[in-house]
Amino acid sequence: MNHPITIRDFSAKTAQGDTIQLGKYFGDVLLIVNTATECGLATQFQALQQIHERYSSAGFSVLGFPCNQFGAQEPKDDEDVLKVCRDELNLTFPIFAKVNVKGKDAHPLFKWLVSETSGILGSQIKWNFAKFLVDRNGRVVKRYAPTTKPEEIVSDIERLIASSQY
């Protein structure tokens, strides 16, 4: 019997090069974001960090996936991306290795995320900082546009933290 696809079905490389099973986050509420340090929307990093800090003790995490597919706004290698995220931006949420989020070489996680949601471009991600909210059962609940500010998502995060049981 096939089970529905959830976050448990995926793995990803960390910025340090280790492959981890994303099932380790099963039971947490997640906000998965494709990021770029040189994007005009990179100002969202601080709000993402604040939300991560505020709700991490309640079983919430932001997961950042750098991507260079939009305007070449993440040209750095994984090590340099992590250095900027940790040393300059003071981010503590997980930063993964760079991935493609659209096209035939898109990471399987992002193929699944877009297949579970709809956006302005249908199954395409429009730009850096597209956001996907995943519940404690590892299912995609909602997709947010790149221009949606992280603080606008807080009520949805709080609702999932309060009500989600696995």
What are the pLDDT digits (tens) for 51-86?
999 999 999 999 999 999 999 999 999 999 999 999
Q: Which domain holds residue 92?
A: 7-163
**Number of domains, the chain:** 1
Residue 28 lies in a domain: yes
Across residues 75-98, what is the average pLDDT? 94
Residue 84 lies in a domain: yes
CATH code of the domain containing 26: 3.40.30.10
Residue 1 lies in a domain: no
Q: 15, 39, 48, 63: which is the annotated catalytic residue?
A: 39
Residue 2 lies in a domain: no
Q: Assess contact for 156 and 141: CB atoms under 8 A.
A: yes
Query: Cβ contacts of residue 119 below 8 Å, gap of 6+?
Result: 125, 126, 130, 143, 145
According to the model, what pLDDT value does residue 120 have?
A: 54
Query: What amino acid occupies position 136?
Result: R
Residue 98 lies in a domain: yes
Q: Is the pLDDT of residue 126 over 80?
A: yes
Residue 30 lies in a domain: yes
How far CA 55 is from CA of 29, 58, 89, in Å, comes to: 9, 5, 19
Separation between Cα atoms, residue 141 and residue 135, nearest integer Å: 6
Q: What is the pTM of this model?
A: 0.93
How far CA 64 is from CA of 2, 44, 165, in Å, comes to: 29, 12, 24
Residue 74 lies in a domain: yes
Q: Is the pLDDT of residue 118 over 80?
A: no
Residue 67 known to be catalytic: no
Separation between Cα atoms, residue 78 and residue 65, nearest integer Å: 10
Residue 59 lies in a domain: yes
Q: Is the pLDDT of residue 122 over 70?
A: no
Q: Roughly what angle, to the nearest 10 degrees, separates helices 44-55 and 154-163?
A: 20
SS3 state at 119:
strand
